[in-house]
Chains A and B, each alone.
Chain A
């Protein structure tokens, strides 16, 4: 399609789109107005029924726990898809080895400052991630945010150390961690059945509001989400970095 034809199509579509947008926006409730009854109800429910101070956590893990389960499976499926797409083909490795031998490619050497900073940052970042994840019931944050922060330790680890033979092993380990997280979430749900309640029903006794382990089942679900997200994102990063290693491996470093 030529440039003018594409522009014509764009402007043709722009009119109805803008009209539909205006129509939809006109129907929205007033900005930050008192009409948002769901917000007040959810905050009420999280304080009285779930006994959790952080209403966002109460909504994601207790009131809408089933939606979050589906969301976790979306992440799981996406990472499985990436594993499948980026898997190492036998001929790929050989071709690249020959390529490299011909060109005599040299690996970059990491500077001392980056190594020093990285080694110390890894501990701090991991602790911050754990703190954010485990304080889900009392302050902003939760399994997802904390998990991603912990997975970013993997990023620093890759910057600091070159991953010679460890990439395959690390991928295995984090695949298992991710699976444990997913199974943990499912187990939390199935527990309800054995107690004679429905799936994912919050059956555990709830501590007082403001305590770290308040909310019954919520801390357990939160921790399994932490495992699933941290493992999943580590696998994701390792897969992309292994694409680089296809060239680097066997360099005689």
Chain B
């Protein structure tokens, strides 16, 4: 068990880190609500992108750099691009 000493209990976490964790969770709650309450598709895509950006920070703060990397690329590159592509296609079909 050479790694057992790396696990620290919640009481031993530095105050700063706890504050960061609390703040990021608060921001994510607000941003998620914002995404749901945005009704128009184009602003909603941008809001979802911002929400994804907060999720990247969340994963970094909770020490999961692997997940943060995947979230960054999928969110920045693919979700936004594919949603925009589909949106333009739907607009073209309407006209």
Contacts and interface: CB of A to CB of B under 8 A. Distances in A.
Query: Do A and B bind?
Result: yes
B78 A152 contact: yes
A192 interface: no
Interface in A198-246: 233, 236-237, 240-241, 243-244
Given A44-B2, A155-B81, A240 B7 contact: no
Given A148-B74, A247-B92, 4 more contacts: A33-B10, A39-B3, A44-B2, A145-B70
Given A148-B70, A152-B77, A140 B8 contact: no
Tier of interface size on chain B: 20 to 34
Contacts of A39: 3, 7
Interface stretch (B26-34, B35-43, B48-56, B82-90): B82-90
A244 B78 contact: no
Tier of interface size on chain A: 20 to 34
Contact of A40 (B4, B9, B66, B89): B4
A237 B7 contact: no
16 contacts: A32-B8, A34-B7, A34-B8, A36-B7, A39-B7, A40-B7, A56-B66, A140-B65, A140-B69, A142-B66, A145-B70, A145-B73, A148-B70, A148-B78, A151-B77, A152-B77
A68 B82 CA distance: 25
